[in-house]
Amino acid sequence: MADRYLSFTGTAPGRFLTRRLGLPQPAALRRWSPQHPSLEGDLLHVTAGKSDLGLDGTGLPLTRATERPAAVLLDATGVRDVDGLGDVHAALHPVVRSVAASGRVVVLGAPLDPADHHQSAAQQALEGFTRSLGKEIGRGRTVNLVRVTDAIAAESTLRFLLSPKSAYVSGQVIEVGDRHVTAPADWDLPLAGQTALVTGGARGIGEAVAATLARDGARVVVLDVPQAEEDARRVAERLGGSALALDITAADAGERIAAGLPAGVDVLVHNAGVTRDRRLVNMPADRWSSVLEVNLASVLRTTDALLAAGALNQGGRIVATASIAGLAGNAGQTNYGASKAGVVGLVRSLAPRALAEHGVTVNAVAPGFIETRMTAAVPLFIREAGRRMNSLAQGGLPVDVAETTAWLAHPASGAVNGQVVRVCGQSLLGA
């Protein structure tokens, strides 16, 4: 369903009226397209504190001076005390206003040093700073914090956050390890030669994820329930992939997937999910169990089975779909919130072991209000509240979740592990 308020605020009368009434003024976001694959303008590199991060090795087109940057990259990894936070202000205060509409601000921070509480305090302060700036910067611009020790390991993350692909990701704190990563032969086709399995891929967010992974070169397997087999085949044929009709809640689903893909899977996207909303006092046991079974139990069983069978190839990626409902809670969704919080627990526990034992990373995306057929059926006033209650004052699109998934699936994202990244326009709900 079209966001008519967003369209109205893009007109002269709309801008005048919303400004006079103090109403949200969302800016039309600039997303990736083949015609506009990157931000249009310079990438300004500024520094706070003393840093030896070595960003020159990333291949990013950095400049130290420009009048109207498309993005600003602030290296604050060297900030170790309160005085250093003054350098953060000094570096960004003069340039924030000049960042182009739909531009980007990315702050680079260092991991907290448990042996130095002054450094930890200063680096933790960057989190509050980043999220606060994200809520005030406006005009479709985003602000994110990346904790990093190795610039090369963070290159895929920086490329994502400094591009139109991250249009609906703001106010996030992402930790990048120092694991060695290898750049793809072609940054435009990073998944060439790889196989990606997307559950619930016949429609909505799953279809967008499948299309985006295919765009990046993957051979996509679209998995959905037998009732959606026709839609799954339609999507697969359009993308040059294949379809797999399978009930993901079946006890042997993992074994059947492994048998059907003898060459293994490089990217596993757990997207299948259902809602059965009702307040707990009115929720029968079957509405509770069906949501937990699809959204959580099947993810656990399938992941365990594929790992045990060696069906996830070395260097593989698991990307699960959580939700801000699992992070912040939502009335009428105790079952859904529990299932999605469970996905977060799975990611944080499994990530270090899966990497150590199988060479596979495990991360999650946590969508906020995304414009789908499901949200289009939400009552008008609730729908409008969902759209406006974030720093970008609008709903996201399925492609926003897909682009974030594609970044986590990227072969150069091997140092990103155990992360839960919200795709919510910096929702006012939760952290």
Q: Is 243 left (phi over 0), alpha (psi -120 to 50) or beta?
A: beta
Burial of 117 by CB count in 10 Å (0-12 exposed, 13-18 middle, 19+ buried)?
Answer: exposed
Could you tell me which of 347, 356, 354, 410 has the C-alpha nearest to residue 154? 410
Domains and CATH numbers, the chain: 31-175 (3.40.50.720), 195-423 (3.40.50.720)
Burial of 313 (0-12, 13-18, 19+ CB in 10 A): middle
Residues with pLDDT less than 70, the chain: 430-431
336 is catalytic: yes
pLDDT of residue 87: 97
Residues 346 and 363: their CA atoms lie apart, in Å, by 9
Place of tokens 């069978």: 309
Q: What is the pLDDT of residue 383?
A: 85
Q: Catalytic residue among 5, 129, 336, 369, which?
A: 336
| pLDDT tens per residue across span 242-263 | 999 999 999 999 999 999 999 9
Q: In the chain, helix, strand, coil percent, each to 5?
A: 40, 20, 40
Which H, E and C letters describe 106-146, residue by residue? EEEECCCCCCCHHHHHHHHHHHHHHHHHHHHCCCCCEEEEE
Give the tokens for residue 252.
């042997």
Biggest alpha carbon–alpha carbon distance for the chain: 62
Task: For 155-186, give the secondary structure using H, E and C.
Answer: HHHHHHHCCHHHCCCCCCEEECCCCCCCCCCC
Q: State the pLDDT at residue 373.
A: 82
> Of 361, 242, 352, 248, which Cα lies nearest the Cα of 312?
361
121 phi, psi to nearest 5 deg: -65, -45
Confidence at residue 357, expressed as pLDDT on a 0 to 100 scale: 96
Q: Which amino acid is at 385?
A: A
Predicted pLDDT at 271: 98
Q: Are 343 and 303 in contact (CB under 8 A)?
A: no
pLDDT of residue 381: 76
Rounded CA separation 11/36 (Å): 24
Question: How many helices and strands in the chain, by DSSP H and E?
Answer: 15, 13
Concatenated DSSP letters of 180-204: -----S-TTSTTTT-EEEEETTTSH
Dist. CA 242–CA 363, nearest whole Å: 25
User: Whole-angstrom Cα distance, residue 74 to residue 47?
Assistant: 5
Q: Phi and psi of 166, rounded to 5°?
A: -105, 30
Given CA atoms 110, 111, 116, 118 in this order, what sign does their dihedral have? Answer: positive
Phi first, then psi, for residue 220 (nearest 5°) are -100, 135
Instruction: Say what the pTM is.
Output: 0.96
Residues in the chain: 431
Per-residue pLDDT tens digits for 297-342: 999 999 999 999 999 999 999 999 999 999 999 999 999 999 999 9
Q: By C-alpha distance, which of 39, 270, 52 is closest to 160?
A: 39
Sign of CA dihedral 205, 206, 207, 211: positive
